[in-house]
Structure 1
């Protein structure tokens, strides 16, 4: 199964590979941003802790959705 996915990535055009890398980059950006908002106390946001955690969880869930869409689009 892993060999099929690697073979599928190698068959993609340059544009397809660039979009794959861009998708992975934005997945990581949203994930790290959500974690930063939740756990970095010196981040200059004037939000109550409950709202910080809620916003961080929302960003992490959105990064998960982006990752699932990326994986599903990669199998085609």
Structure 2
């Protein structure tokens, strides 16, 4: 019965706010990484493979942050 209580328990306001903020950050970081990779009007002083490498690093960072959103906090 305790498992059902934990599953049905509503998230705190702080937790909901951080989830929305984290999801918004993920979207913006993902969009920025794709812009670096594929938008030639950005005028970065890198050649094609360097732009793709930097863009992939930015996208990987966004994915890492997004996965960390769902990690359980030891305080909760």
Give the TM-score normalised by structure 1.
0.76
Tell me what 1:53 maps to: 52
Are residue 42 (structure 1) and residue 56 (structure 2) matched? no
In the TM superposition, residue 61 of structure 1 has moved relative to its aligned partner by 0.8
Cα distance in 2 between the residues matched to 1:15 and 1:68: 18
SS in 2 for 1:38: helix
- Runs (5+) with no aligned partner, structure 2: 1-6
Tell me what 1:23 maps to: 22
SS in 1 for 2:42: coil
Give aligned pairs, total: 68
CA RMSD between the two structures: 1.8
Tell me what 1:67 maps to: 66
Tell me what 2:12 maps to: 13
Asked which structure has the greater RCO (Cα within 8 Å, sep 6+), the reply is: 1
1:22 and 1:43, CA in 2 relative to 1: closer, same or farther beyond 3 A? same
Give the TM-score normalised by structure 2.
0.76
- Runs (5+) with no aligned partner, structure 1: none
The structure whose Rg is larger is 2
